[in-house]
Amino acid sequence: MIAPPKKDNVFRALDRKLGAVAEFTMRQYRTKLSTWVVLGVGFIAIAIIVLFYVDSMQKEIEAIDNDGDSADWDGDGYPNGQERIYGTDPDNPESHPGTFTPPIAPDPPEKWINEDDFDWDLLATGDTTVGYDDDGDCRLADTTQSQKDRNRNNVNCDIILDYSELRGEWLEPRSDGFVDEDPDEEKYSKEAIHRAFLLAIGKMGFVFLLGIFLPLFLATGLIREEMENSTMHFMLAKPIARRDILLGRMVGYLGIVWPYIIAMGVIVGLISGFAGPSDGFFRFADLGMWMAIIFATMLATLVYGMLFCALGTLWKRGIVLALPFAAWELGMAILSFNAPAASILRFSVIGWSLNIIDAAALIVWPNLGLFIEMGLWGGGGYNSDFWGGTQLEGADALNAFASDTGLGISPLATIVVSTLVLLFQASVLWIVGSAIFKGKEIE
């Protein structure tokens, strides 16, 4: 016989009905082959993206002598850059710093490759003029004044950065001649490719692919399959509201999907942390990004799960109803890359989820926009107009995957608002799903 009821604490209360449904659902998932197929396919899809990334991190990026001063025109063993600094004639083999007293030894040519890297750290002071002429060729006496102060701000050898409030982005830098004109390609590109990868796999791999793929195949049948299998009869014959059955089933679904997402995030985060460019052995700096990616994906699977579960309850072929939603979300995902402020994005799940990642990127990597602009400018091609673009590898990719949060508020506020909106969406879908389920007659 039944023991007299004890006073419930939170855990005892959870142990009853809701916990039972959730636990049952999780155990049911584990017995189904389809669950493992879906999780396995998700793993393979992410693994393929990671392989491309690891490959690009292993690849050597050729160091280019953008300003050509490692050349030795007169064949005297002294690179042009070194000869210019010492005022000797790079075209005359008789004239070189070796004739000085005491004589100066010739530099190896490599010393004059990538010798004038970006010096944009000044940004930290809030100044918008940056750059330092590391190799000294801007400050030479024979450099004309119009070259030394090409941007006409009465400061020699600097770069002016302009932010356009109107366009919401950094404009092309206005640089004096020969400043930061021979950047380190490898250093920039690896960093840019790494960041682009994080944004790409976070947005498209995790939030879009896992975020839609997992619920599509795991949540659509949460209620429907039990109805079709006639096993729902057992559950409905117990004193538990249908809304609670739906909630318990959802909790069980999240009990499978959320640990999976966390595990995937940790695995890919570890791989990219070791493979990515860093001063130490591991890139701890990305921790915030991975937290945001995992968090955004968890929220996405929650909302899509509620949505697809409701659609599955509504109609036998709920997956057919779910596909147009998935297509809509894909469109919105693509739109968010180009027009993050478009108001139509507010009517999507993915727009809000991606906001979280974009906002986190701005927190983890301050001046991300400037970093992109730096690579697109790439030293400015000898700082003159006729040398053409010297865009650095990775800048374009990063530019494509990074976007503003589009809400016009601070990154932290964006994360809070987006989270609340997603939770609100999930609650509304839960109520709608419950109403559909409650109205269902089950034979």
How many whole angstroms separate alpha carbon 266 and alpha carbon 287?
A: 10
| Residue 181, C-beta contacts closer than 8 angstroms, at least 6 positions apart | 66, 67, 116, 175, 379, 380, 381, 382, 383
Rounded least distance, CB 19 to other proteins, Å? 7
- Cβ nearer to other proteins, comparing 29 with 377: 29
- Cβ nearer to other proteins, comparing 229 with 410: 229
- Cβ nearer to other proteins, comparing 13 with 266: 13
Task: Take residue 180 and report the two structure tokens written for it.
Answer: 């930061």
Rounded least distance, CB 219 to other proteins, Å? 19
Mark residue 268 as left, alpha or beta (left: phi above 0; alpha: psi -120 to 50; beta: remaining).
alpha
- Cβ nearer to other proteins, comparing 153 with 229: 229
Q: How many Cα atoms within 13 Å fall on the side-chain side of residue 175? A: 26
Rounded least distance, CB 20 to other proteins, Å? 3
H-helix or E-strand spanning residue 318: helix 318-338
Rounded least distance, CB 301 to other proteins, Å? 24
- Cβ nearer to other proteins, comparing 62 with 443: 443
- Cβ nearer to other proteins, comparing 150 with 242: 242
Rounded least distance, CB 438 to other proteins, Å? 5
How many whole angstroms separate alpha carbon 42 and alpha carbon 59?
A: 26
Would you say 310 and 246 are in contact if contact means Cβ atoms under 8 Å apart? no
- Cβ nearer to other proteins, comparing 247 with 364: 247
- Cβ nearer to other proteins, comparing 2 with 141: 2
How many whole angstroms separate alpha carbon 356 and alpha carbon 344?
A: 17
- Cβ nearer to other proteins, comparing 316 with 346: 316
3-state per-residue secondary structure call for 162-223: CEECCCCEECCCEECCCCCCECCHHHHHHHHHHHHHHHHHHHHHHHHHHHHHHHHHHCCHHH
Rounded least distance, CB 254 to other proteins, Å? 19
Rounded least distance, CB 316 to other proteins, Å? 12
How many whole angstroms separate alpha carbon 305 and alpha carbon 439?
A: 20
Interaction site with other proteins (CB under 8 A): 1-3, 12, 15-17, 19-21, 23-24, 27-28, 31, 229-231, 233-244, 314, 432, 435-436, 438-443
Rounded least distance, CB 222 to other proteins, Å? 15
- Cβ nearer to other proteins, comparing 201 with 223: 223
What residue has token string 């701005």? 362
How many whole angstroms separate alpha carbon 7 and alpha carbon 13?
A: 9
Would you say 53 and 43 are in contact if contact means Cβ atoms under 8 Å apart? no
Rounded least distance, CB 442 to other proteins, Å? 4
Would you say 255 and 305 are in contact if contact means Cβ atoms under 8 Å apart? no
Rounded least distance, CB 233 to other proteins, Å? 4
> Number of helices (H) and strands (E), helices first, in the chain?
17, 5
Would the CA dihedral through 42, 48, 53, 54 be positive or negative? positive
